[in-house]
């Protein structure tokens, strides 16, 4: 005896697949934003390590160029470099907008690095 399927399980599977796809898509956007932040912060740490061999203007220029290559917002180009004795502080502040379903979320980032030499 063969029975006909009602079709509910097929729609449930399709809905679940659609929901998972949407979560992956929007998670990728947020993940890419944080990945760029971590890369920028790591570059700041690298510049802090080599600070004795570079001027403040060179460090800021190199970080501005790197922020531009990552496609970060213009606020990330305002890199601050401060030396106090044998310590160097490097930081920037910027906001990044990420589109989510039915809204745009604004994330605040404050990458910084401190080094001693």
Question: pLDDT tens digits, residue range 63-94?
Answer: 999 999 999 999 999 999 999 999 999 999 99
- Domain containing 81 equals 8-116
Of the candidates 90, 77, 71, the residue with the CA atom closest to the CA atom of residue 29: 71
Q: What are phi and psi of 73, to 5 degrees?
A: -60, 165
Model confidence over 22-65: pLDDT tens digits? 888 878 889 999 999 999 999 999 999 999 999 999 999 999 99
Domain membership of residue 98 (yes or no) is yes
Measured on CA atoms in the order 13, 16, 22, 23, is the torsion positive or negative?
negative
The predicted structure's pLDDT at residue 100:
81
Domain assignment present for 3: no
Residue 1 lies in a domain: no
Contact assessment for residue 72 and residue 93, using Cβ atoms and an 8 Å cutoff: no
Is 25 a member of any domain? yes
Number of domains in the chain: 1
Query: Are 100 and 22 spatial neighbours (Cβ–Cβ below 8 Å)?
Result: no
- Is 111 within the bounds of a domain? yes
> Is 2 domain-assigned?
no
Are the C-beta atoms of 111 and 92 separated by less than 8 Å? Answer: yes
pTM: 0.82
Is 19 inside any structural domain? yes
């Amino acid at each position: 005896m063969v029975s006909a399927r009602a079709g509910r399980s097929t729609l449930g599977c399709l809905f679940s697949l659609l929901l998972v796809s949407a979560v992956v898509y929007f998670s990728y956007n947020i993940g890419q934003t944080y990945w760029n932040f971590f890369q920028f912060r790591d570059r700041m740490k690298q510049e802090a390590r080599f600070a004795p061999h570079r001027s403040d203007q060179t460090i800021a220029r190199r970080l501005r160029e790197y922020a531009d290559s990552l496609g970060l917002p213009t606020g990330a180009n305002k890199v601050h470099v401060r030396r106090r004795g044998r310590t160097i502080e490097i930081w920037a502040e910027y906001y990044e907008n990420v589109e989510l379903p039915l809204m745009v979320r604004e994330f605040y980032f404050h990458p910084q690095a401190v080094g001693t030499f």
